[in-house]
Structure 1
Amino acid sequence: MDSVELLAVGPESSAVPVSFEIDDREGAALRMKAPGGDWRSFSGSNLFTCLLSARTDLEKEGLLLCCQGARPDVFPSGMQQQMDNGRFATVLSRLAGEGEAVDIFDAADPSQVTSVEGQRVAVYRFFGLPLSGAGTDV
């Protein structure tokens, strides 16, 4: 089990530390704790889907998580989701061979991150998919 400390930013650039416990030994599970709060658990088909759930939870409190997995230009391929349980994702690029893999739990600058919906829209646009009628899953 890995432990990670990240920041989440809120209105007026206020930042709060958020603790994560990452468990990918059997399936995928993530525990998250913000200051003064209880541990919240998320499970899913892979770590990226767990992170999406945790981010959605934080967004209900007006917070954006500052990690590589919250960037609008980062998304795991199907193979990444299967091979490393969604722990790594690709920086989307139109240039052949330019898409580097990043750990979704590595820190990112607040200026680089977006909401779950903002990421979904960016990924759909990158791949030229229609936004109307699309589900809310990234």
Structure 2
Amino acid sequence: MTTPVWADDVVLSTLSGHGEIRDVRIRIGQRDRARILLIDAGVPTEIEDSDYRNCLDVVRTRLQGEDRLLCCQGARPNVHASGMLLQFGNGREAYVLASGNGDEEPAVVDIFAPAPTSQVTTMEKQRAWYFDFLGWAPARRE
């Protein structure tokens, strides 16, 4: 078994529902293979998936289960990866979508870059924001 090569190492804050801030470390693999290492309270967890956005979703789901939000660009409500960014960047980058006339090119951000605690949200609220942005109504469960 080969030892993973980590291309980046980032420390991100997490925000609990009670306002407590605690840091986690994420080591990010090479662009060609979506692999990260989450280190939370000294406990390492390696995550590998089809792209980096999916790896981030695994981390966010885990943290949200503990009532914590990950404070990164990929957790902002208006950040969304297009199919092209997923394919060509392996999901590491995403667009910052803005309300407006659509004449401007959206900014592109690294989903693992830090974001202020005031700008992050849950995965459910992020999905709802995106559906609203597109003018779609989310499917109802009966």
- Alignment RMSD: 1.6
2:3 corresponding residue in structure 1: none
How far did residue 25 of structure 1 move? Answer: 4.7
Separation of aligned partners in 2, 1:24 and 1:120: 27
1:85 corresponding residue in structure 2: 90
The amino acid that maps onto 2:66 is E
1:14 corresponding residue in structure 2: 20
Q: Residues 25 and 106 of structure 1: is their aligned pair in 2 closer, same or farther, counting only changes over 3 Å?
A: closer
| TM-score w.r.t. length of structure 2 | 0.86
Deviations 1:55-77 (A, max 9, x none): 00001111000000000000011
Deviations 1:59-101 (A, max 9, x none): 1111000000000000011100111111110001243224100
Report the structure number with the largest CA radius of gyration. 2
Structure 1 gaps of 5+ residues are none
Find the residue that maps to 1:12 and give its secondary structure. Answer: coil
Q: How many residues align?
A: 133
For structure 1, which segment, 70-79 or 89-98, has the greater mean C-alpha deviation from structure 2 after superposition?
Answer: 89-98
1:76 corresponding residue in structure 2: 81
2:58 corresponding residue in structure 1: 53
| TM-score w.r.t. length of structure 1 | 0.89
Identity value in percent = 38
